[in-house]
Chain A
C-alpha cells in the first residue's frame, strides 16, 4: 500500500502523539486523516451551515421530526469508484447510504439519485444505471426520484450522488456513541481485501493508472444487504444494544474509533476474532478493508446471545471482536500483542485546513453572438438528454416496492411516500444547478435551494429540511476554495432566510483530472410534508385546463445567465443569474397552498429548465395533451430575445393549471400576485405566438432521445 500522508501532516501527528508512529499507525492515520473520513478541507466551512431545527444533524444521518416520527435522509457521493467501475461503484454507493440510515434504527424506505454524466460516455451511464437497478431493487427500497444532468464537464468525472430516506419513531432511535463496559460485535460479510484503502483513494485526483485503482473498488451484495437490514432492525430493537455504526469508508477502523470517541471511552479490538474472507490479511488490511454489508454494534454482555441468535436466523456471520472500557484510547490487538494504542482525541480530530479564499472569481459576462430560430430551438431543446424525459432511467429502478409510494418519478416535482399510521405524506426531490454555481457559486447555491423548494411547493409539500452533497475539484486550488466557501455561505444564508435547516451532508473533493474539473456541483435533497393525499399535485394538464404563469415576469432585461438553453443551443454559459426575492417566494407558496386546499389547482409545476416554454412542453408531453398559448408578451422580432423570453430561466415562477380560471384570477388579484393567463390545454397541437408543432412528433423525440443517444 502506498502512503499519501504528507510530511506536514505526519509531523503534526507526531507532535500531538508526542512520539513516532509505527507502520500500522501510519496506515491508520492515513485513512482517518484523509479528506474522505476527516473532512480536512471542509469541516470548518460546514460549521457555518444552519442546523437549527434538524434532528440529530451530527449522527450517521440527520433528519426532521414529523409527529412522533424521525424522517432521516442523507446523500452520499460515490464519484471516484463510479469513474473506475460504474456498476459496482453505483451499487456500493447505494449500499453505503442505506447503512447510514440503518445505523439509527430507521428502516430505509426510499432512494433518490442525482447523476451527472458526459452524454457520450455510454458505458458509465449504462453501468451506473444497472448498478443502482440491481442493488436497490433487490434490497427492496423504492427509488422515488432524482435528477440526471449531462454536461461535458463530467467527462471521465461522473458524479453519482445517492440519497436514502429512513423512518423511525423518535423514541426508538439508536445513536452511534458507545459507552464503557460494552461488547463490540461485527455483523455481516466476512472482511476481505476488497476496498482496502478506499478512503485514501477517494481523497485524491484520479490518475491515469486505472488498473492500480481497481482493488479499491468495493463489491456489493444486495442479498446480504437485505438480510443485514432486517437483522440490524431486529438487533437494534433489543434493549441491551446501545450503539451502532456502519462500516463505510475506512471500514472497521473508522466505525469503531468513532463509536468510542463519541462515547468517551476506550475501545480494544482483537483482530484474531474477526470472520475473514482471506486468512492472510495483516492488521492494516483488516482495519481498512471496505468490504460491504457490515455493521458494528456495541452491546451489553447479557444481550450477546440474543444478537448471535438473530444473526443465525438471517444466515449472517457475526463475531465478537472487542470491548469498551474507561479511558480514551483506541487499541488494536493481534496474536495476543498490542499493535497500536493511540488516543482517540488525536485519531478522530485531524488537522483542519482553513479555506478562506484568496481570490475572488469574477463572473464571465460575454455575450453570445450566435443565433437560432425558434423552430430549431424547440427541437434542439427536446433532443438534449438533459431536458428529455428520464423515463429510460427511472423505469429501471423499482419505484413501487414497499407499498408506500404515492408519487412516482416523473409525475410531479417530487416523489412522495405515505407515512405509517395515516400521519400524512412526505415528498423528496434532488436538485443541482452546476451551471449557475459555475457562474456565481453563492447565488448558485441559493438558486438550487429555491429549485428544490419550488419543486416541493408545486407538488403540494411544505419544505422542512434538506441535505447536501458538495462535489468540487481539488480544494487546494484557489478557484475551488472560492467556489466552495461561497457555495456554503449561500446555503447558510438561504436556509436561514427560510428557516429550513440542513440535516446532514457529504463532501466530495478532487473531482478533477489532468484535463479538466467539474463545475461546482451543489446537490440538494429536500424534504417536504403534505397532510392529505388529495393535496398532492401532479405536473399534469387535463383537457380544457386553463394555464396561468404566476410570479415574476421575464422581460428582455432579465438576467438569464446559466440557463440550460445557453448551454444546449450555443455550448456557452455566461451572463448573470437572476436575483431571487425571498418574500415573493414565500407569498407564492402561500397562494399555491391556499388554491390547492380550495381544490382549484388540477396541475402545477415550477418554471425551471427550458424556461416557460420548456416547462409547458414538459407538462404537455407528460400529459399527452397539446396547448395553445401566448408566451411572447413583449413585441420582438429579434430571435435571441425571443429565445430569452421563451427559454430563459429566472427565479420565482410557477405554472398552474385549473378548471376555474375566473376564480383563480380573482384570487390572485386579491392577493396581489402577478400573473398572466398563458392559454388553454387541448388537442394534439402545440401552438404559441404563431408557431405550431405536432404534439405526437415532439413527444416522441422527448420520450426517446435518451434511448436514442445510448443507441438502444
Chain B
C-alpha cells in the first residue's frame, strides 16, 4: 500500500509518522504543498507540526496551498483514506473536510502528555493511551452539528485535558474516508515509555483502506 505524507513548511512530525507507516508495511513518499495530484496513493497523511508557523491560527495558511486542491479531488474521487494528525486535523477542519474547529486549550497552554482515550470504531471498543502535544486542541462545533459530530467521534478523552466538546479527540466524516485526531499515534509506537497503543490507530486506517 502506498501512502503520501504531506510536508508543509513547518511540518515537523513527518519522520516518525513515516517510520510508523513503514513498520505497518506502507510504501511512503513525502509530498510538498505544491503537489497537484495524489491519486496514485492509497492513503494521504497530513502530519503534525506547525505548518506555516500556525500563524494567524493553526492550519489557516496551509489551507491555501495547491495540495489542498489535490486533496479535494482525491476525496471526491473516493480514492482512499485521508488522515490528519494534530496539525493535520487542524488543517482538515480549517479546510472544511471535517466538521468543527480546534481552538486554544482551556488552560491557554501547550500540553504534552500521554492521555487516556476511549477508542470506538466499527465494533472495536477499547481504552488506549496516546500522547497529545498541542496548544490548539479544543474541539468545538456549531450547535446544529452536535448530534452528527457525536456520532462521528471515534476517539474520546477519558479525562478531557483541553475543554473539547463532547470529549472529542478524533473524528471521521460521513463516509468514514477522512479521519482527524489530535493525539499522536506515531509517538506511541516504538518506545516503551510511551506505550504502543498508536498501533491500534494505524491498524484501523489500514483496515479502512482494505475495506475499499
Contacts and interface: CB of A to CB of B under 8 A. Distances in A.
A227 B131 CA distance: 25
Interface string A167-195: 00000000000000000000000000000
Nearest to B54: A138
A5 interface: no
A83 to B, nearest CB: 23
Contacts of A297: none
Interface in A392-406: 394-403, 405-406
A92 interface: no
A403 B54 contact: no
B16 interface: yes
Given A138-B54, A140-B49, A533-B192, A399 B112 contact: yes
B8 to A, nearest CB: 10
A91 B110 CA distance: 15
Interface stretch (A70-78, A218-226, A588-596): A218-226
B138 to A, nearest CB: 16
B10 A395 contact: no
Nearest to A534: B192
B45 interface: no
Interface residues on B, range: 20 to 34
Interface in B159-212: 184, 186-187, 189-194
A344 interface: no
Q: What's the interface size class on A, roughly?
A: 35 or more
Interface in A401-430: 401-403, 405-408, 411, 418
Nearest to A538: B193
Given A403-B16, A418-B191, A397 B112 contact: yes
Contacts of A130: 109
Nearest to B11: A140
Contacts of A140: 12-13, 49-50
Contacts of B112: 137, 394-400
Contacts of A538: 193
Given A137-B110, A138-B53, A223-B52, A402 B15 contact: yes
A110 interface: no
Nearest to A533: B192
Nearest to A222: B53
A38 to B, nearest CB: 35
Contacts of A418: 190-191
Given A402-B16, A407-B193, A408-B193, A226 B10 contact: yes
A177 B53 CA distance: 33
Contacts of B50: 137-138, 140, 222-223, 226
Nearest to A129: B109
Contacts of B113: 395
Contacts of A536: 192
A133 interface: yes
B133 interface: yes
B19 interface: yes
A400 B187 contact: yes
B121 interface: no
A394 B113 CA distance: 9
A12 interface: no
A314 interface: yes
A501 B133 CA distance: 36
B55 interface: yes
Given A140-B12, A223-B52, A226-B9, A397 B110 contact: yes
B19 A133 contact: no
A694 interface: no
Interface of B: 9-10, 12-13, 15-16, 19, 48-50, 52-55, 107, 109-113, 131, 133, 135, 184, 186-187, 189-194
Given A133-B135, A134-B110, 18 more contacts: A130-B109, A133-B109, A137-B50, A138-B50, A223-B50, A223-B53, A224-B53, A227-B9, A395-B110, A395-B111, A396-B112, A400-B133, A400-B187, A402-B15, A406-B192, A407-B193, A408-B193, A408-B194
Interface of A: 130, 133-134, 137-140, 221-224, 226-227, 314-315, 394-403, 405-408, 411, 418, 533, 536, 538, 712
20 contacts: A137-B135, A138-B50, A138-B54, A139-B12, A223-B9, A223-B52, A224-B53, A395-B110, A396-B112, A400-B131, A400-B187, A401-B48, A402-B15, A403-B13, A403-B16, A405-B194, A418-B191, A536-B192, A538-B193, A712-B107
